[in-house]
Structure 1
Amino acid sequence: MSVNIAIDGPAGAGKSTIAKMVAKKLGYVYVDTGAMYRAMAYYFLTNQIDSTDREAIEKAVETVDVTIQYENGQQVVLLNGENVNDKIRNEEVGNMASATSVYPNVRKKLVALQQKLAQSTDVIMDGRDIGSVVLPNADVKFYLTASSSVRAQRRFAELQEKGVACDLDQIEKDIIDRDERDMNREVSPLTICEDAVLVDSSYMTIDEVVAELIRIVEEKTNGN
């Protein structure tokens, strides 16, 4: 019987970083749901389907299979059996993924594929609607958050390290605006599940958060 872990939370809370580290330590598969949306977007691009052509997109969705495997410790995203790791990380694919993820049929298809993956494998997934929609019966659910000011400071530091000019106040404003959109969107809004464990990482190091999540997972699954 596979074990499923769901991590939800707002933008900038460190979900992906934490999920990857927890997965590695527990030997679970980290399901990069964002990469799955990108693989779908790459399919639309290579088949010259316009992001505004809803009918063509909904028809194409039926022929797409996206899954994630691990080979030699590396995540491999497979689109209809083909490794597309080196083809889905550019700006064009990212923009297409953002434009097409709003279609209910795209989300419905990928949720079904994510659920299929979770049935046969010990997985950890992060996102906005994992515990509420994708894995409602997850063995352990977390809601990982941090104050908007802390999330803004983390993002500011990241951008400065990359040499990108940025304004801390504007970053925090953008984070607050995004929280508002995520929580009030029509399809699968960001929500705190009643059975989720709330973890506020505002004053915790990454290692402390990882250790806390692993402790809770082992406690709830009896170490299995």
Structure 2
Amino acid sequence: MDGPSGSGKSSASRGVARALSLRYLDTGAMYRAVTWWMLQRDVDLADPSAIAALADEPALAMSTDPDAPGVTVDGTDVTGPIRGQDVTGAVSAVSAVPEVRRRLVALQREIIAESLPGGGIVVEGRDIGTVVAPDAAVKIYLTASAEARAQRRTAELDGTTVEAQKADMARRDRLDSTRKADPLTPAADAIELDTTPLTLDDVIAEVLRLVKERA
């Protein structure tokens, strides 16, 4: 499940994983966790070489329970802190560094491989269908209007406005879609689903229908 911020990936992915009794992986949380770790150490995030030099150091552990997703870094639970504005504002810069992406993609593939004997996994992010799991049986690319995405994100966060979120999402979209390493783009065989007019239950139901049809 790929798509930009605010398109509904996380909620829909967890709902689909629950319905199918599968594991769930939020790859964005992994990039956020590395960003949090870099910020804690005052790494200059304007210097890609400084980020690259430390890309292998943080030890990440992911929970793949759709009812209790989370991430720890060096044994510290950062599930809450990685959603702060400081991390949100910096994660695109960190995730654009090829050394970071190479390391995390390898970890993501390990988690996927470990989950397959148990039935499978729903993985969400920005490069799952194109890079992480190009052979996935079902690839969904979620989209939504800028207004809908901003309204959803504003409802999730305190102390922000729709206009501020719309501007921030436009910034992140630009960075994510134009980076040289694994840019945000739909896989050629992905099914694009516009979630603008849909409720969460509608999105989950449609994805489940597509899974049944494709798999």
- Give the TM-score band, short-chain normalised: 0.7 to 0.9
Q: Distance in 2 between the 1:98 and 1:108 partners?
A: 15
Q: Give the secondary-structure state (helix, strand or coil) at the position aligned to 2:140.
A: strand
Is 2:73 the counterpart of 1:75? no
For residues 22 and 59 of structure 1, do their structure 2 counterparts lie closer, same or farther at Cα, with a shift above 3 Å needed?
Answer: same
In the alignment, what sits opposite 2:128?
A: 130
Distance 1:84 1:220, change over 3 A: same
CA distance in 2, matches of 1:108, 1:58: 10
Q: Indicate how the Cα distance of structure 1 residues 13 and 80 shifts in structure 2: closer, same or farther if over 3 A, else same.
A: same
1:141 paired to 2:136: no
User: d(CA) in 1 for partners of 2:34 and 2:168?
Assistant: 27
Pick which of 121-130 and 52-61 moved more: 52-61
Contact 2:35 2:91 in 1 (8 A): yes
Spell out the pairing of 1:113-192 with structure 2 (5 A cutoff).
Answer: 113-121=107-115, 122-146=120-144, 148=145, 151-153=146-148, 155-156=150-151, 159=154, 164-167=160-163, 171=166, 179=173, 182-192=176-186
CA root-mean-square deviation: 3.1
Q: Partner letter of residue 159 of structure 1?
A: T
Partners in 2 of 1:71 and 1:142 — Cα distance?
20
Q: TM-score, normalised by structure 2?
A: 0.79
Counterpart mapping for 1:44-83 below 5 A: 44-70=38-64, 73-83=67-77
Identity of aligned residues (%): 38
Cα deviations across residues 1-31 of structure 1 (Å, max 9, x unaligned)? xxxxxx1223432222211211222222221
Q: 1:177 offset after TM fit, Å?
A: 6.9
Structure 2: 5+ residue stretches without partners: none
For residues 38 and 126 of structure 2, the distance between their equivalents in structure 1, rounded to whole angstroms, comes to 24
For the pair shown, the structure with the greater C-alpha radius of gyration is 1
Aligned to 2:30: 36
Give deviations 1:89-116, integer Å, cap 9, x for gaps.
Answer: 3333333433322211111111111111
Change in CA separation of 1:138 and 1:207 when aligned onto 2, cut-off 3 Å = same
Are 2:33 and 2:73, in contact at CA under 8 Å, matched by a contact in 1? yes
Alpha carbons 1:36, 1:110 under 8 Å: kept? yes
| Secondary structure at the counterpart of residue 88 of structure 1 | helix
Instruction: Determine if contact 1:65/1:113 at 8 Å carries over to the other structure.
Output: no
Task: Give runs of aligned pairs for residues 95-110 of structure 1, distance below 5 A.
Answer: 95-110=89-104
Calculate the TM-score normalised by the size of structure 1.
0.76
Deviations along 1:147-201, one digit per CA (max 9) or x if unpaired, are: x3xx414533763796855459x94x87667655544432222322222122233
In the alignment of these two chains, the number of paired residues is 210
Name whichever structure is richer in strand by fraction. 1
| Aligned residues of 1:29 and 1:70 also touching (Cα < 8 A) | yes
- In the other structure, the counterpart of 2:18 is 24
Alpha-carbon shift at residue 144 of structure 1 (Å): 1.8
Q: Give the corresponding residue for 1:207.
A: 201
Conserved? CA contact 1:65–1:79, under 8 Å: yes
